[in-house]
Structure 1
Amino acid sequence: MIKEWKNIEQKKLAPVYLIIGVEDYIINQTKEKLLHAALKDEELEFNYANFDLEDTPIEAVIEEAETLPFFGEKRLVIASNPVFLTSEKAKGKLEHRTEKLEQYLNEPVDYSILCFVVHAEKLDERKKLTKLLKKQAVVIEAKRPSEAELLKWIQTEAEQNGFQMEQTAIKRLAELTSGNLTTAMNELSKLMLYQFESKLISVQDVETLVVRSLEQNIFLLIDKIIALDTEGALRVYYDLLKQKEEPIKIIALVASQFRLMNQLRILEQSGTGAQQAAGILKVHPFRAKMAAKQARGFRKEELEFALFHLAETDYELKTGFGEKTQKLEWFLFKLEDFRKTKKGLKFGPFLTNKKHHRVVMFSLIT
């Protein structure tokens, strides 16, 4: 949990806050806690302001913060997207007189709470203003939690609301929400509402109520492939088609997962763990862990076979060859046949097209 939240809840408020990160749940919860601690409901209209710094100059934000509160003791000013604190380029032509912010940070007023929200992994630490802001502000990191941290978040939230939750249910909720804290908390709220009287959440409740994301359905489809359950894999595929998902998108996601499995297998052979590999490949650690586990269900040549034929399928889809809804079906049948018979790699006549050959081989290795 976020240690700074305790001080906010106890109304021990700082004049300046800085929220850095991409985890929406932490960002939104922090803003809500600041609102609840700083202002009464009847004060919101006069003493609360929310600015987007892509549209509003920083000097207007500072002017708002320096304005005395009206019929209240505090004023809360939230300013999002301060691109001048990052290495990103501003989208528009708006200019910010950042010297005004520098002056304010050196002498912030005691009747306002100024909160900056940076929806990015990090700030540009080379900038003088960044260093000053981090020195003067209470910094709250809205970073993606690790797997262990996510499980703790779920358990703590359930317990604070008076619920008991089986460990298997906690782990399954984390899996079905792909390690996303915001999604997990939204689904947990639904589960708590469902079991409001019993106050007990089981793994069956999670399986019944939690909506599988497209990514999770792809995980499930590949689990079926690993188990040589082509019929089960096809059921998942047909369900996705009923949900109006495009075949080309489904195949692209399947290919992306097989490519990740192949990359993780290569890194694992060089002694790189899944957590470290996630950083190298720039994917969510939870996804890397799941993919590494799935990769162990395939032999090296099976992964290569799958990647090669997925590239072939992708090429055919993009060139309008054949019925698009049947492409994944044929791929599943080919892969099942290959895995059952342990045949060598077979490269069909399509390789006579040299351009196609280059496209397929590039897709296989990248």
Structure 2
Amino acid sequence: MLPEWKQIRSKKIMPVYLIIGTEDYIINETKQLLIDNILEGEEVEFNYANLDLEEMPIEVVIQEAESMPFFGDKRLVMANNPLFLTTEKSKNKVEHDTAKLEAYLNEPVDYSVLCFVARVEKLDERKKLTKLLKKTATVIEAKRPNENELKKWIEAKLSENNMQMSQEAITRLVELTSGQLTTAMNELQKLMLYCFDSKEITIQDVESLVVRSLEQNIFLLLDKMIAMDISGALRIYYDLLKQKEEPIKILALISSQFRLLNQLKLLEQQGYSQQQAATKLKVHPFRVKLASKQAKNFTELQLNQALKRLAEIDLEMKTGFGDKEQKLEWFLFELQDNRQKRV
């Protein structure tokens, strides 16, 4: 749990908050915590404002914050998308009187809580107003956690709910949710409800209950191929077809995964670490970690051959040549055959 969350839960509420980052789970949980600990019952209807700075000027936000609360002690004002504090260009040409915000930050009212929500990686630190906001506000970073941090998030949630879960099961949950905090916490909530009576979540529960995304199924399909388990790979493929997934969409994701394997192999040859490769390719570090393991099972020639064949199948599918479902099935057999040859 974030230290700022503990402060909010203990009713140590600050006048100004800044949530910065792109992790939805942290953003949404922080907003809900503020609502739950500042406003009570019907107060939300009268004393809560959720405003978009892409649609209205900062003066409206300040006006809301300076308005006296109605039937309550506090007002809560959410100010979303303060792009004027970033290097990003606003889609809408809303003019902001930043002098009014500067004056408010220097002397905020004691009956309102103003929370800025910036869904960006960082603000423009060169701007005077950005420096002032970060100095006067309580900053909550909504950044994507790495693998170890994600496991700590899961462990904290389990402890909070008096639930048990082995490290093996936690690791599997992280894998099946591709290291995504929001997805992992949503799936964990479902697991805790299912295992409420036993108070223990097993790896079997994780395997049977966690919903695999299409991308995750493609990853598992390749894992089966690496293990020379053609029947397992085909089972996953047939299950996807039963779920009405289009062969051309499955093909696109297989191609994307092979491109990633090829790029990682090339970057590793150039001395890139996994973290550096993730940054360069703009891919989640956990996905890079798993893909790096897969890449080690293919030669550079095998990857290039696979990409060439996938491009041919893509063209054939788009021009209506042959049976789409069968083409991918045959690709899996060809891939198996090429790997057995260890070109």
- Specify the alignment match of 1:220 in structure 2: 220
Q: Report the 3-state secondary structure (helix = DSSP H, G, I; strand = E; otherwise coil) of the residue aligned with 2:79.
A: strand
Once the 2 structures are TM-superposed, how far is the Cα of residue 291 of structure 1 from its aligned partner? 0.1
Between 1:11-20 and 1:232-241, the stretch displaced more is: 232-241
- Specify the alignment match of 1:75 in structure 2: 75
Amino acid in the other structure paired with 2:265? R
Q: Report the 3-state secondary structure (helix = DSSP H, G, I; strand = E; otherwise coil) of the residue aligned with 2:89.
A: coil
Q: Determine if contact 1:305/1:335 at 8 Å carries over to the other structure.
A: no
Once the 2 structures are TM-superposed, how far is the Cα of residue 326 of structure 1 from its aligned partner? 2.3
Between 1:321-330 and 1:205-214, the stretch displaced more is: 321-330
Q: Determine if contact 1:191/1:201 at 8 Å carries over to the other structure.
A: yes
- Specify the alignment match of 2:44 in structure 1: 44
Once the 2 structures are TM-superposed, how far is the Cα of residue 342 of structure 1 from its aligned partner? 4.1
Q: CA RMSD in A?
A: 1.4
- Specify the alignment match of 1:115 in structure 2: 115
- Specify the alignment match of 1:184 in structure 2: 184
Once the 2 structures are TM-superposed, how far is the Cα of residue 80 of structure 1 from its aligned partner? 0.9
Q: Report the 3-state secondary structure (helix = DSSP H, G, I; strand = E; otherwise coil) of the residue aligned with 1:117.
A: strand
Q: C-alpha distance in 1, partners of 2:163/2:108? A: 42
Q: C-alpha distance in 2, partners of 1:97/1:234? A: 61
Q: C-alpha distance in 2, partners of 1:150/1:272? A: 24
Q: C-alpha distance in 1, partners of 2:298/2:185? A: 33
- Specify the alignment match of 2:130 in structure 1: 130
Amino acid in the other structure paired with 1:140? I
- Specify the alignment match of 1:208 in structure 2: 208
Q: C-alpha distance in 1, partners of 2:320/2:124? A: 46
Identity of aligned residues (%): 69
List aligned pairs for 1:1-366, cutoff 5 A.
1-342=1-342
**Where does structure 1 lack aligned partners over 5 or more consecutive residues?**
344-366
**Where does structure 2 lack aligned partners over 5 or more consecutive residues?**
none
Q: C-alpha distance in 2, partners of 1:108/1:318? A: 60
Q: C-alpha distance in 1, partners of 2:340/2:178? A: 31
Q: What TM-score do the two structures reach when normalised by structure 2?
A: 0.96
Q: What TM-score do the two structures reach when normalised by structure 1?
A: 0.90
Once the 2 structures are TM-superposed, how far is the Cα of residue 92 of structure 1 from its aligned partner? 2.0
Q: Report the 3-state secondary structure (helix = DSSP H, G, I; strand = E; otherwise coil) of the residue aligned with 1:41.
A: coil
Q: C-alpha distance in 1, partners of 2:250/2:132? A: 47
Q: C-alpha distance in 1, partners of 2:246/2:125? A: 42
- C-alpha deviations, 1:51-105, integer Å up to 9, x for none? 1222222111110000011121111001111121122221123322222212211
Between 1:96-105 and 1:252-261, the stretch displaced more is: 96-105
Q: C-alpha distance in 2, partners of 1:318/1:188? A: 40
- C-alpha deviations, 1:293-349, integer Å up to 9, x for none? 111122222212212211222232333333222221121122122222345xxxxxx
Once the 2 structures are TM-superposed, how far is the Cα of residue 273 of structure 1 from its aligned partner? 2.0
- C-alpha deviations, 1:239-295, integer Å up to 9, x for none? 112222222221111111111111112222233221221112110001000100111
Q: C-alpha distance in 1, partners of 2:335/2:189? A: 40
Q: Which runs of 4+ in 1 moved over 3 A?
A: none
Q: C-alpha distance in 2, partners of 1:87/1:291? A: 33
Q: For this pair of structures, how many residues does the alignment match?
A: 343
Once the 2 structures are TM-superposed, how far is the Cα of residue 158 of structure 1 from its aligned partner? 0.5
Amino acid in the other structure paired with 2:139? V
Q: Determine if contact 1:228/1:336 at 8 Å carries over to the other structure.
A: yes
Q: Report the 3-state secondary structure (helix = DSSP H, G, I; strand = E; otherwise coil) of the residue aligned with 1:314.
A: helix
Q: C-alpha distance in 1, partners of 2:94/2:270? A: 48
Q: Report the 3-state secondary structure (helix = DSSP H, G, I; strand = E; otherwise coil) of the residue aligned with 2:42.
A: helix
Q: Determine if contact 1:77/1:112 at 8 Å carries over to the other structure.
A: yes
Between 1:313-322 and 1:281-290, the stretch displaced more is: 313-322
Once the 2 structures are TM-superposed, how far is the Cα of residue 147 of structure 1 from its aligned partner? 0.4
Q: C-alpha distance in 2, partners of 1:131/1:247? A: 51
Q: C-alpha distance in 1, partners of 2:123/2:34? A: 22
